[in-house]
Amino acid sequence: MNIVLLGSPGVGKGTYAEKISKIYSIPQISTGDIFREAIKNETKVGLEAKSYMDKGELVPDEVTIKIVKERLEKDDCKNGFMLDGFPRTIAQADALSEISKIDKVLSFVADDEIIIDRLSGRRVCSECGRIFHVKNIPPKIEGICDICEGKLIQREDDKPESIKKRLDVYKKQTAPLIDYYKEKNILAEIDASKPIEKVDEIISDVRKALEE
């Protein structure tokens, strides 16, 4: 099954993606994670992506489409994949339709207030990338990852100036994809406003949508 996860930054896509990927045994492909890894390794793509990411802007379509195409050609995508954070523009969605057939698009929805709270409190492990939240998903020891003991940091683009910009970019450039996929009859809307303790209910709604 080939799945796309849509939703505003901060809606919790990364958290849901990890669970869905385990249930269906398909790889989670996050373009944001691919760019962050490239930045860490100081590759050419990483250097190019960094200037856009720090400002909360989208990395140009040509660069993004190329990395996704290369990733989807890998063997582990043969039995399905889940895209988290791609496509984010109509041009990317058109390019994706040439690369692969998408079976279902899950659109996660929550109010702006919830989104801003999730983004501003988010902390990520600088080593393994695991996501925490100062109130909603606190680590056992403040500032330290439960899994690998790496240091928890706040992403540069989770700081207030970038959050506003990313939400604007989402509304202008990515939200039109909801209608784009609705017209193709493959969109399912999922209420993601429930608190983290109820993440299993959200995942159960996802399973219903994927198995209907």
The Cα-based distances of 115 to 12, 43, 58, 92 in angstroms read 9, 31, 19, 24
Handedness of CA 113, 173, 175, 133 (dihedral sign): negative
Active site residue 78: no
Active site residue 155: yes
Q: Given 3-state DSSP classes, what are the helix, strand and coil percentages for the chain, each rounded to the nearest 5? A: 50, 15, 30
Shortest Å, Cβ 90 to ligand AMP: 12
From candidates 104, 118, 122, 166, binder to ligand AMP by CB under 6 A: 166
Active site residue 123: no
In the complex with ligand AMP, which residue's Cβ is closer, 10 or 139? 10
From candidates 9, 26, 102, 139, binder to ligand AMP by CB under 6 A: 9
Q: What is the distance between the alpha carbons of residues 25 and 90, in angstroms, rounded to a whole number?
A: 28
For residues 157 and 128, the answer to whether their CB atoms sit within 8 Å is no
Three-state DSSP class for residue 166: helix
Does 110 interact with ligand AMP (rule: CB under 6 A)?
no
Does 167 interact with ligand AMP (rule: CB under 6 A)?
no
Segment contacting ligand AMP by CB under 6 A, of 50-58, 105-113, 138-146, 191-199: 50-58
Does 158 interact with ligand AMP (rule: CB under 6 A)?
no
In the complex with ligand AMP, which residue's Cβ is closer, 59 or 202? 59
Q: What is the distance between the alpha carbons of residues 129 and 104, in angstroms, rounded to a whole number?
A: 26
End-to-end CA distance of the chain: 13
Q: What's the DSSP call for residue 103?
A: -
Does 86 interact with ligand AMP (rule: CB under 6 A)?
yes
Q: What size, in residues, is the chain?
A: 212
Does 32 interact with ligand AMP (rule: CB under 6 A)?
yes
Catalytic position from the list 19, 155, 165, 194: 155
Shortest Å, Cβ 118 to ligand AMP: 12
Residues identified as active-site: 13, 88, 122, 155, 166
Q: Which residues bind ligand AMP (CB under 6 A)?
A: 9, 31-32, 35, 52-53, 56-59, 64, 85-86, 88, 92, 157, 166
